[in-house]
Amino acid sequence: MTRRQREAVRDRHAATHDGSSLRWPGATARFALFGEVLWVGVLCCVASLGIVTIPAAFAAGSAHLHRFLRAEDSPLRQFAADFTAALRTGWLAGLGVVLAVGLLLLDIIVANSRLLPGWQVILAAGVVLLAGVLAALAGTTARWPASRSWRAAGRRWLRDARKDPAGVLWLVAAVVLTLMVTWQLPPLVVPGVGCLVFAALATSVRPRR
């Protein structure tokens, strides 16, 4: 038995022991999961070209990945159907996110010019708020498939954030990592987005007290 086969057997035993293989059977095939995460990144990036469609794209990507993890059929037409459903009211959320991100980026640019007094504080606040907005966006979109409602998804995100601050920090870390790899090499935005959707979905189903 090769090393890879031994690792696969060990992973299956661990998944069976903690019950994850029953809840998320699609996660037992690690290579297939990695490929699906990359595919979700492609789908989300294409669907996000409209800018205000970003929340709907992420919500559809989260639903698509959730079906895969549940070992359910996840065809492209279902992604398109989820995207259309999420976009009906999700474009308003997209518009709000675009405005918020635009203002924060302007704040960061102005602060980085070092012309304002206390620019260090302004710059730090802008960066923290930007990461928070993007984390809230990812967290909310991961919760949209369960309710098919943006208001309900937003309320659930706030409730989960209060109960699981560690999950919020993990999601913020995923956002920062995605931004960093994209800044260093723009084509990495595709796998970065896929990994961010996966991270948001993982934090949304974390057990909470």
Domain that holds residue 114: 3-204
- pLDDT (0 to 100) of residue 5: 44
Q: Which residue has the higher pLDDT, 77 or 32?
A: 77
Domain assignment of residue 107, yes or no? yes
Q: pLDDT digits over 167-202, tens only?
A: 999 999 999 999 999 999 999 999 999 999 999 999
Number of domains in the chain: 1
Handedness of CA 8, 13, 19, 22 (dihedral sign): positive
Q: Which residue has the higher pLDDT, 128 or 6?
A: 128
- pLDDT (0 to 100) of residue 208: 63
CB–CB of 100/137 below 8 Å? no
Proportion of the chain above pLDDT 70, given as a percent: 86
Domain assignment of residue 12, yes or no? yes
One-letter amino acid identity for 22? L
- pLDDT (0 to 100) of residue 9: 43
Q: pLDDT digits over 149-176, tens only?
A: 999 999 999 999 999 999 999 999 999 9
Q: How confident is the model at residue 91 (pLDDT cuts 50, 70, 90)?
A: very high
Q: Of the candidates 59, 39, 37, which has an alpha carbon nearest to the alpha carbon of residue 48? A: 59
Buried b (16+ CB within 10 A) or exposed e, 121-142: ebbeebbebbbebbbbbbbbbb
Q: What is the DSSP letter of 51?
A: S
Domain assignment of residue 209, yes or no? no
Domain assignment of residue 47, yes or no? yes
Proportion of the chain above pLDDT 90, given as a percent: 72
Place of tokens 């037409």: 77
- Average of pLDDT values for 53-69? 95
Q: pLDDT at residue 14 above 50? A: no
